A and B are shown apart, each in its own frame.
Chain A
């Protein structure tokens, strides 16, 4: 549910084109039998009118000026606009998609309502302030925004420093030439991750969620699920192998 405050004026005189769903697209592109053309795949996101799926009013040029793409490329495009200048409309579009989800993320990791609201707003404010540092060759918009929110949470909530790699560090060992992963662009990478997630066995998906949304050691996760620690670890290993494989990473 989007907050009414975030929606543009409810003038529905203009055409409303429901966005196709990136998730559905990703699944379709990985399915042997893609959905028939014209069949709208109903998902939670499309019902929520996620991505840019809010209603436009006539003459609202901002969203329709851009290509009707949705999904990771769209978000990266918006962030790139924000990088090149203080584009409040691009920011508003990013905010409508990410702020409510970042708030959910903070809530899931134990932040109270007020704290989650504050952290979501502050994370988005940091997206604005740091937009000049965004490099679409290195990460998609989603990954970049996630890492900002994650670090903000560590600062605010765990009251710890976050040791981070620094690119201009003289000891930084440069990338190997032409790693296979570099062949996938960021949009393809996001889709591959999404597709791998969609096909994960349920018990592995559960462990993946807990790994990101529970600030707990694996021993406690095992206890919570009532399964042995070894099982948690082996499910994790299987799940994360699948992601690395989907992205063309070598087996370690």
Chain B
């Protein structure tokens, strides 16, 4: 999901009509967007766009292009004339293995207010961040055309090369920019991975930018006074840089700018020929309308379908009985298969007008035996007086170890936790129940609680998920009997013979703890929680309890689920 800010007033201006927030939201749904917030004092809409594969929708201009199609005010692929600018970019073959691709355009007759400049910058940032994978895959640069001479060089340069980066007043070497400049610190790691510094230079030697990190302070920005601009996108994939350039040109055209092409001269080891960008590759896709109708459950005729795709800003280039050839706009690269066109047709028909069918697909439903088994155990433990709780499976290592006297153990851990509170997977439940007790010391006793839930552990270096049941009883008079009788009831109702064998376990008091054995197999633990744990958790009454592994109770149908 991408979130952008836009002026409510300006949105209505661009649409040429007054709309309530609700009306606007309804229209925005056709652009898979919704209004998250409207800040009235600032005339500001916060709009969430749900598509991560449609950067062409990440600006008010893009959404409005879509809406005007639905409203039938405009139709088909928006066309604009592209003249030659005469500008040339020469690409250095050394970039072949790092960031070889560049697409450029020249825009003239630009007259943008501060608001729209900020909007274009917002769009560029969102594309760089999300579609451009934080500039790894692609990054955008705007430059003041009057300060640039052709041919422009896109090449590798030594780290001692200097220029004044944006937001700075002094010349800095490329090396220093990566070390000290805010953007250098943020994106420098991409360049470090290349092993060399890519640079964009004007024919007179002026630095345009150090892609994908930072532009130069004087050439590399546009203001309300800018009338001509060079737009450049560099990246690791030609299709990506070209589609991003197309999106930007389309936005500028909306505001009356004229677009001129730039010739990119690639060395043979990057691209076999020179390319004129923005490149309109006129991509087409064929759909079989019979197949699409069957897929959607609709009855569109070829002519209707042609109209409907135009509503979605595609062109229908030919109709041959039930085969339609659809042209895809150059700013979209999300169409991979005819099902993508099927969705466009469904949206143009309006989901709410297509009409849901009645329930069919008659099958018998049911719970899995393991869920039934868990429910059995839950019901018995409720009958035993337990209050059921749900705790986290992804939890705090403290709760699992120091809080229950257990040394570090082998847990399934998270590589990228947001906080250590949620950083390991529990392999026992009772530590979490003790944690619950520690948060409820002001509530009346006895407190009896249980959880039947999943745990994650390693068996022979394989990660498995299984269900355990844990029961604790906390009360001034709590004794081993209180937990023993409940375990006994549980297992006898489940028709399971068991034994208890005395052991020592750090969470339990010595001599008051036993292993639960079923068919001579360890399948759980029962006992009185060690007073040092109670003290540590500030629980001022005795606590007794048990935990048992459900897959090891033969009469239940719980299983161990392996990831592999």
> Is B truly associated with A?
no
B-side residues, CB < 8 A to A, are: none
A-side residues, CB < 8 A to B, are: none
